[in-house]
């Protein structure tokens, strides 16, 4: 490939400067933050080179000064209702699984009680209405042309799924901001809630004997699937990637990558290389992946992350052996191994964790202090 061919490919693949174009983790979180009321209306979907950015930056500075003068603090805005609004929009758009970690960590700082059950409850009652990458066709710049986040906010608000009276940084309620924003109704990106892409939202919380404290899956597009197959067990990501590249993973396998959790990683690396390799080999819908690590927001398919307790603390995922039969039941919200409690008990008695990567320094301190992914992987 010549440099000119590479440049042409890049110019077609990337719509412009800024964050990744689809509804991946960056755009998922900027959307959530706008809906929570912590950024100005329209902020999330403006492209990096949009000339309106200059005016927005000025208004952001003015807003900060006004809030300081009036004594308005983040905790005045980050209420329980604000978090429920954010979760509703995330699941309605098929956003990143990382939103679960980030929103729980923010809620901890805001002193708002938020649990995995809140995500699953809201997702079960919220339709999936966005046709955005990675589970659809459009990107954030497309949404911006039709009204931005206010467009999906309008759909959900009219359906009675948002707390419209939640306060935002500009002094207006969420409903006022949504109704003040011009939107284009005739557009292809956001569906009507009464004619959704799916009747339930894009995230699900799983439990079972492999994830007694919970696990997270992005279910946009495959809400009703059940997967069952033999475990292909790998201690950390690189070994799994090499096996996939060698063609050793077959249709129907359940790839298990462990010791990548908050303590085991340490820090929960995202399994983007592995998920990309599976999709590249045409296995994206026929091979499930289960990990105590996390995923890039660009990942899609039957990918289960944040399995808790993690392997490093003796969680059941750390007790699996090659060939154990695993069942991933998405509609039933279950993740189980076909093992009896007696078998788990015997393996637990013989289990020893792997040697930690770091025994001194900041990462060793982090691994010692960090909590479970089911609690947002916070350190204090």
pLDDT, the chain, mean: 95
Q: 């800024």: which residue's tokens?
A: 18
Q: Active site includes 45?
A: no
Residue 348: its pLDDT value, please? Answer: 96
Q: Which of 39, 45, 123, 296 is catalytic?
A: 296
Residue 18 has a pLDDT of 84
In which element (H, E) is residue 345 found? helix 341-350
CB 292 within 8 A of CB 261: yes
From start to end of 271-333, where are the E strands? 288-291, 303-308, 325-329
Q: Report in angstroms the alpha-carbon separations of 371 from 336, 352, 367.
A: 23, 20, 9
Phi, psi at residue 81, to the nearest 5°? -65, -35
Q: Average pLDDT, stretch 258-266?
A: 97
What does the pLDDT read at residue 135?
87
235 bridge partner residues: 258
Instruction: Report the share of the chain in percent with pLDDT over 90.
Output: 88
On whether the CB atoms of residues 278 and 249 are closer than 8 A, the answer is: yes
222: pLDDT strictly greater than 70: no
pLDDT tens digit sequence for 116-130:
999 999 999 999 999
């Amino acid at each position: 490939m010549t440099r000119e061919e590479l440049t042409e490919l890049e110019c077609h693949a990337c719509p412009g400067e800024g964050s990744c174009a689809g509804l991946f983790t960056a755009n998922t979180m900027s959307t959530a933050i706008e809906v929570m009321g912590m950024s100005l209306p329209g902020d999330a979907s403006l492209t990096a080179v949009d000339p309106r950015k200059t005016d927005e930056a000025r208004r952001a500075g003015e807003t900060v000064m006004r809030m300081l003068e009036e004594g308005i603090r983040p905790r005045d805005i980050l209420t329980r209702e604000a978090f429920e609004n954010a979760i509703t929009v995330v699941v309605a758009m098929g956003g990143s699984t990382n939103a679960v970690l980030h929103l729980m960590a923010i809620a901890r700082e805001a002193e708002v009680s938020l649990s995995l059950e809140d995500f699953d409850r809201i997702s079960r009652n919220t339709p999936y209405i966005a046709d955005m990458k990675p589970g659809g066709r459009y990107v954030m710049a497309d949404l911006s042309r039709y009204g931005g986040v206010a467009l999906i906010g309008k759909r959900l608000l009219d359906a009675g799924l948002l707390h419209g009276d939640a306060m935002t940084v500009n002094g207006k309620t969420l409903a006022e901001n949504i109704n003040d924003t011009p939107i284009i109704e005739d557009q292809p990106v956001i569906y009507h809630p009464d004619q959704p892409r799916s009747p339930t939202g894009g995230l699900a919380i799983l439990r079972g004997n492999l994830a007694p404290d919970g696990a997270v899956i992005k279910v946009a597009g495959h809400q009703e699937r059940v997967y069952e197959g033999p475990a292909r067990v790998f201690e950390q990501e690189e070994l799994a990637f090499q096996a996939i590249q060698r063609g050793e993973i077959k249709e129907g396998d359940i790839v298990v990558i462990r010791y990548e959790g908050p303590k085991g990683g340490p820090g929960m690396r995202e399994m983007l290389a592995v998920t990309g390799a599976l999709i590249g080999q045409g296995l994206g819908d026929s091979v499930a992946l289960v990990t105590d690590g996390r995923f890039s927001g660009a990942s899609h398919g039957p990918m289960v992350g944040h399995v808790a307790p993690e392997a490093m603390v003796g969680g059941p995922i750390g007790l699996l052996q090659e060939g154990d039969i695993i069942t991933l039941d998405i509609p039933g919200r279950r993740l189980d191994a076909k093992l009896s409690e007696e078998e788990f008990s015997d393996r637990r008695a013989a289990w020893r964790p792997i040697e930690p990567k770091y025994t001194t320094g900041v990462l060793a301190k982090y691994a010692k202090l960090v909590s479970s992914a089911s609690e947002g992987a916070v350190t204090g």
